[in-house]
Chain A
Amino acid sequence: MIKLKNINKYYGKFHVTKNLSLNVNSGEIYGLVGKNGAGKTTIFKIILGLSEFSSGELSIKGSKDKNQLLTNRKEIGFFIGKNFFDYLDARENLNYYRQLKGIRDKGEIDRVLKIVNLHETKAKYKNFSMGMKQRLGIANAILGNPEILILDEPTNGLDPQGIADIRKLIKKLNEEYKMTIIVSSHILGELEHTANRFGIVHEGKILKEIDKNNLESESDTIEIKVSDIEKTKKILKENQIEILQEKSSKKTLEDYYFELVEGAKKC
């Protein structure tokens, strides 16, 4: 759906992205993982044409052609920061973007406001809470039912309930509306619950892309249920297998991320 191949970008002498390659497949929730300043937003800006790159290839829906990219970007809804007018309410703000995007159906505003649960809000944007602002941002991103959704740190500044709401919403958009979603976060545990594929970005490079299933299979610990724990321990002991820890656990995305990043630093 979206492919970046060997993308290099410089800010002056600063090499921001280094041969960055990324591949987002149709229908998946792709989690872009990395600390602040790793290059996540730059990747989004490159995809959206808000930032030029020095070399490499970008393709959206299979096309690399500059004019076709402009057309294909109309299939992308995105939330990067808060792009609303203080003096307008939720409906008026969305109506602005509805007109800008050339969406004729005025009912689209109510549809997306209902999805994000803001349909009863009458307040001006300047009086919105952080959670409401985030949800309105997502409502704007899904206006017109785009095929691809880009969400940059959508849970930033939210309380646990707000985070859970956004997580549920992202899954709903993927499952019910069949949207391909790219979501970034520096809260790794958060992405682990949402995405089904991950791209680990560090210092402008994608260190690795990995499926959620593969992430789990890369674990060196297993959790098994047995009928007789004591007998199992005895068998292990007879075979000179030491029990290091009794409670086994899966490798988390966080463990995996730090392993990779630390590995990259050593290299």
Chain B
Amino acid sequence: MLNYLIADLNRMSRKKSLIYTLAAYVGLFFIMVYMIYNPNLDAGGYASKTDMFLEFYPLVVGIPIFLSIYSDDFKSKAMQIAIGYGIDRNKIILTKAIETVILSVISGVLLGVLAIVMPKIIGLTLSHEQFLGLAFSSVIGMLKIIVYVNISTILVYHYQNAMYGTISFVLLCSGTIRIILSLIFSQKFVVDIIGNLTEHLFTTLLAIEKLNYITTGSFNINSIIEILLYMVIPVIVSMIIFRKKELEF
């Protein structure tokens, strides 16, 4: 499993599109700062604009991460070699999930540090809340990539094709699915029958916990468990789906 992880990470380090996209996003951040910078810009203005900019991070950086981990693998059918070589299917799924975490964390930490360090460069001082807000936005971006990739891979493993997964990832990142689900969950008959499910949506949980921590300095443990379940359940579903899947060459 470790060998597979090392091989994959090495391979991805040679994939230029992933590095270029991350570099381009960082470049866009510098351009944004250049555009909003003026003598009247205060820390609040910077924080709100940067927060908005980080909203796009899961979509822009998440797609090349997703494609590097899954699309290339399914296209080249390298996974079949791994299975034929005797690597357990569950371990393959776990390895891929770990790769998603690693790449998300690397990109998230890079953007988070950049967002927090930039005010010092341009002579602004962030308040504690603003600092936490930006740090949380990066972490939320990371978590969104991890969860949305994990959900999308269910389709990837089922169809052995990354295209459906990519579409699903884009719909999740762009908020399309959240809007549809919110509409459904806010219907009176749904609330009457099942209760308020909107507060259990992943994005809602993240937003509430971000606010919770900034205002109270603590998390709601139930919400954290729910967030963890959002990360783990899709991996388990993928394992079940992939367990006896016929692999094509």
Contacts and interface: CB of A to CB of B under 8 A. Distances in A.
Given A41-B249, A45-B247, A99-B3, A78 B84 contact: yes
Given A81-B77, A87-B14, A76 B4 contact: no
A11 B3 CA distance: 33
B157 to A, nearest CB: 14
Residue with the highest number of chain A CB atoms closer than 10 Å, among B75, B84, B249? B84
B72 interface: yes
Nearest to A144: B85
Contacts of A70: 86-88
B31 interface: no
Nearest to A50: B247
A241 to B, nearest CB: 53
Contacts of B10: 95-96, 99
A50 B83 contact: yes
Contact of A52 (B4, B80, B87, B246): B246
B40 interface: no
A120 B1 CA distance: 32
Contacts of B81: 78, 83, 97, 100, 140
A147 to B, nearest CB: 13
Contacts of A92: 11, 14
B41 to A, nearest CB: 42
B15 interface: yes
Contacts of B15: 87
Contacts of B38: none
Contacts of A95: 10
A87 B14 CA distance: 8
Given A71-B86, A74-B86, A102 B3 contact: yes
B224 interface: no
Contacts of B77: 81-83
B249 A73 contact: no
B241 to A, nearest CB: 14
A11 B11 CA distance: 35
A175 to B, nearest CB: 25
Given A52-B244, A81-B77, A87-B14, A73 B85 contact: yes
B82 interface: yes
A210 to B, nearest CB: 28
A173 interface: no
Contacts of A30: none
Contacts of B86: 49, 69-74
B6 A99 contact: yes
A121 B7 CA distance: 22
A101 interface: yes
B207 interface: no
Contacts of A69: 86
Given A73-B85, A87-B15, A100-B85, A81 B6 contact: no
Contacts of A49: 83-84, 86
A85 B69 CA distance: 12
A260 interface: no
A70 to B, nearest CB: 4
A84 interface: yes
A261 interface: no
B78 A85 contact: yes
Nearest to A125: B76
Contacts of A102: 3
Interface in A31-69: 41, 45, 48-52, 69
Contacts of A140: 81
Contacts of B246: 11, 45, 50-52
A72 B86 CA distance: 8
A105 to B, nearest CB: 14
A52 B75 CA distance: 22
A98 B80 CA distance: 15
Contact of B247 (A51, A74, A85): A51
Given A85-B72, A100-B8, A101-B85, 5 more contacts: A41-B249, A51-B247, A70-B88, A97-B7, A100-B82
List 3 A-B pairs, minimum CB-CB distance, nearest first.
A99-B7, A73-B86, A48-B84
13 contacts: A45-B246, A45-B247, A50-B80, A51-B246, A78-B84, A85-B11, A87-B15, A92-B14, A99-B6, A99-B10, A100-B4, A140-B81, A152-B249
